[in-house]
Structure formats: C-alpha cells, structure tokens
C-alpha cells in the first residue's frame, strides 16, 4: 500500500493555484513546504546523494530529473523518512526529517514507482483500510474512500478486486490511497511509468487538480514532457549532485537559442549544406541523414537567410523550421546523454 506519503502544455501558464498551505491539523506551513540542505547519503562506495540542496514552495511542483541511478529515489526516500541521511538537514511541511518523523509522516503522501495496492481487496476496501490505519473510524474511512473513488473516476469499479484493474486504474487507486489523510505534501516517484498515453494524460490532469487546490508536489519522472508540463521548477540531478535548477524556460534558455532544422531534398548534399549554414551558428551544425540541425544566434530572419543561402547553392529543401530547445535538449546538454527508462533508480537499497 502506498505510504500515506495525500498543467499545462509547454509555454502556457500553469493552472490557477490556491493559497492553502496548512497541515492536516489545520496549522499553517511557514515558508517553503520542502527544504533540503547539504543532504549526503552513501551506500558503501556508492555516493547516492552529495551535498543536495532543494526547495519547493507551497502549492507548487518540483520536477526531479536525472539519469538512472542519479539519486532521485534516494532523495525522495530521505525526505519521506524512509532513509536517514548520512549528513545534512531537511524539513517537510515544517517538520524535521530526523527529529519529527511521526508528525512529518502524518502530513505527506507517497506514491512510488509501482502501484502498491492489495490486489485481493476491492478499491473501496483498499482506501478504507488506509483510512483505518490513519485512525479514522469505520464510517469516516468509508466516507473518505467513497469521496476518493469518485474523484479518481473509480466509483464504478469500487467494488471490484484491484487485481481486475488496468494499469492506469491501479495508478489512480495508489494515488488516491496517498491522499486519504488529505496531506499538504505528496511525493510522486515515477507516477506514470508504464502507462499508456491516455492514462498518462488523465493522471497529469489529476495532479494538476491537486496542485490547484494547494497541494505541494515533488515529482520524479523519466518523461521530460511530463516535467515540462507539470513542474513549476526543475532540478536536474546526476551522480548524486544537483547540477541545474530553474523553471523549464530558464533551463531551456541556459543552453542557447532557437534550433533551426532543415530537411534536404538530396541527403547526399547534407555535409555541403551544413558548411553553408554554419555561418548562422556559433556551434558546428549537426548532420542527421538528410537533415541539418543548428542553433541560430538570431531568430529574426533565420529561416529566410537559410533559404537564400541554400537556394544560391542550388540545394533543394523539403522542410525547415525553428523551434525552442526542448527538455530533451536540456537533459542531453546537462548530462551528456539522452534520458533512459528507469528500472531501479539507485544502486544501493535507496
């Protein structure tokens, strides 16, 4: 069972946010919802976290990105009190991860990489059980279970055993279980891994709804478009270190200007075209079969100038266009390789 650990297309404004920032007992959260300073964690010779600093404002989403084994899941486990750091400090919802673990756990939800529901119980029974574990009376637990089944479009399946659920339904049930106690902070560790595109989109909309109500989310993901859509800020972690932090737009701006991509009618002249177009960029153009890709210094007039230059050389063009750097470009630039599908994030037990 999930530990009661309770957007928007790129370039568009995030959903409207509530100013609610209260703990489960109704008291206010002062300052950022999550703060980590100098976190370190080793597993033998493996340095899983090295001097990690993170801050997540209340009612916002931090996307934590990184290659396999980078330290993402270890960071989540430390913040959720499942692992003790070797050094450093952290608070979640205002509670210290080392000194106030019980109070902290009452104020977080955690949904891990794999749906952790009891397959032999019905959806309603799973959620009722979590409510009872939180100390709710039977009637209150059943009422909360019914509310969450309705919220996650699972009411019609509430009386079915979870083993009959699709992957997307199990994910939604797992997230619902993390929200039984109405926590102000939730950790989502690879929440859409293995889901089909339709189920991913549905879960994105659910997460956006939670954040619009004031919930703070720390999200780890292998899907860069997911981080681009959901996250207010993104921290890129590699070899246990945070190597970049900023909004999606800030990170894209860090790696340079617009990308000009030209598809040629004759791929045999791609190298010649790259040489001709190199004057538009400070970096060497990249040739990929029949396409030439380069970062342009100035967006204004770049397409017209490229067409003129290639036309003068009598090089035919099938297609061309300008685009902003994507999160894939950011990830590649910062880590040196494309993102990989995660299996287990860490080499050690964390």
Q: What is the pLDDT of residues 140-163, one digit of tens each?
A: 999 999 999 998 899 999 999 999
Q: What is the pLDDT of residues 93-107, one digit of tens each?
A: 999 999 999 999 999
Q: Which has the higher per-residue pLDDT, 52 or 342? A: 52
Q: Is 350 a member of any domain?
A: no
**Per-residue pLDDT at 171:** 87
Q: State pLDDT tens for residues 161-177.
A: 999 999 889 989 999 99
In the block, which residue shows the tokens 């976190």? 39
Condensed to tens digits (0 to 9), the pLDDT of residues 188-241 reads 998 887 788 888 888 899 899 989 989 999 999 878 889 999 999 999 999 999
Residues 295 and 232 in one domain: no
Residue after which a domain boundary falls, among 252, 282, 300? 252
| Per-residue pLDDT at 20 exceeds 80 | no
Residue 193: which residues within 8 A CB-CB, separation 6 or more? 113, 114, 222, 341, 342
Percent of the chain with pLDDT over 90: 56
Cα angle 48, 52, 53; round to 5: 160
This prediction has a pTM of 0.78
Residue 119: strand, helix, or coil? coil
Domain that holds residue 314: 257-324
Q: Are residues 228 and 291 in the same domain?
A: no
How many domains in the chain?
Answer: 2
Mean pLDDT across 278-295 = 86
Domain finish residue from 231, 252, 273: 252
8 A C-beta contact, residue 222 and residue 339: yes
49 and 194 inside one domain: yes
- What is the pLDDT at residue 4? 43
Locus of tokens 């590649």: 332
Residues near 256 by beta carbon (within 8 Å), at least 6 away in sequence: 283, 295, 325
Residue 7 pLDDT class (50, 70, 90 cuts) = very low
The verdict on residue 203 lying in a domain is: yes
Confidence of residue 133 (pLDDT cuts 50, 70, 90): very high
Q: Quick one: pLDDT band at residue 301, thresholds 50, 70, 90? A: confident
Helix, strand, coil percentages (3-state) for the chain, rounded to 5, are 35, 25, 40
pLDDT at 340: 61
Report phi then psi at 229, rounded to 5. -80, -45
Segment 2-9 shows an average pLDDT of 41
pLDDT at 21: 67
Q: Quick one: average pLDDT of 177-191? A: 92
Question: Is the domain of 38 the same as that of 55?
Answer: yes
Give the helix/strand (H/E) hosting 220: strand 216-220
Phi-psi map region of 129: left, alpha, beta (phi>0 left; psi -120 to 50 alpha): alpha
Asked which of 252, 282, 305 is the last residue of a domain, the reply is 252
**The dihedral sign for the CA sequence 211, 166, 74, 250:** negative
Whether residue 169 is found in the same domain as residue 314: no
Whether the Cβ atoms of residue 242 and residue 236 lie closer than 8 Å to each other: yes
> Residue 233 domain-assigned?
yes
Q: Are 349 and 43 in contact (CB under 8 A)?
A: yes
Output the domain CATH number for residue 66: 3.40.50.300
Question: Residue 265: inside a domain, yes or no?
Answer: yes
Pair 249, 94: CB distance under 8 Å: no
Alpha helices of the chain — where are they, by DSSP H? 72-79, 101-105, 123-133, 138-151, 167-178, 197-212, 224-230, 248-254, 270-277, 302-312, 327-335
Lowest mean pLDDT among 25-29, 217-221, 240-244, 339-343: 339-343
pLDDT of residue 15: 52
3-state secondary structure 122-144: EHHHHHHHHHHHCCCCHHHHHHH
265-270 mean pLDDT: 90
Do 315 and 204 lie in a common domain? no
């Amino acid at each position: 069972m999930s530990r009661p650990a309770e957007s928007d297309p790129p370039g568009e404004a995030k959903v409207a946010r509530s100013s609610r920032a209260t703990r489960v007992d109704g008291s206010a959260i002062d300052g950022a919802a999550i703060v980590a300073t100098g976190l370190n964690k080793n597993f033998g010779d493996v340095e899983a976290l090295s001097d990690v600093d993170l801050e997540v404002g209340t009612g916002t989403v931090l996307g934590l990105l990184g290659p396999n084994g980078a330290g993402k899941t270890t960071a989540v486990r430390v913040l959720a009190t499942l692992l003790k750091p070797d050094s450093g400090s952290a608070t979640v919802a205002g509670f210290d991860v080392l000194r106030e673990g019980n109070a902290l756990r009452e104020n977080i939800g955690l949904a891990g990489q794999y749906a952790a529901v009891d397959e032999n119980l019905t959806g309603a029974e799973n959620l009722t059980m979590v409510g009872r574990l939180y100390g709710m009376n039977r009637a209150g637990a059943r009422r909360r279970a019914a509310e969450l089944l309705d919220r996650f479009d699972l009411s019609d399946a509430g009386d079915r055993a979870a083993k009959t659920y699709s992957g997307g339904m199990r994910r939604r049930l797992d997230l619902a279980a993390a929200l039984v106690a109405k926590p102000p902070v939730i950790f989502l560790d690879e929440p859409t891994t293995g889901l089909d595109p339709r189920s991913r989109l549905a879960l994105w909309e659910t997460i956006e709804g939670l954040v619009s109500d004031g919930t703070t989310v720390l999200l780890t993901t292998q899907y860069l478009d997911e981080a681009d859509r959901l996250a207010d800020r993104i921290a890129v972690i590699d070899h246990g270190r945070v190597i970049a932090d900023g909004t999606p737009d800030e990170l894209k701006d860090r790696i340079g200007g617009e990308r000009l991509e030209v598809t040629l009618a004759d791929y045999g002249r791609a190298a010649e075209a790259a040489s001709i177009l190199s004057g538009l960029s400070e970096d060497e153009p990249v040739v990929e079969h029949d396409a030439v890709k380069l970062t342009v210094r100035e967006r204004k007039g770049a397409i017209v100038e490229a067409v003129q230059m290639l036309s003068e050389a009598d090089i035919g063009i099938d297609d061309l266009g300008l685009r902003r750097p994507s999160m894939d470009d950011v990830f590649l630039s910062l880590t040196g390789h494309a993102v990989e599908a995660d299996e287990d994030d860490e080499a050690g037990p964390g």
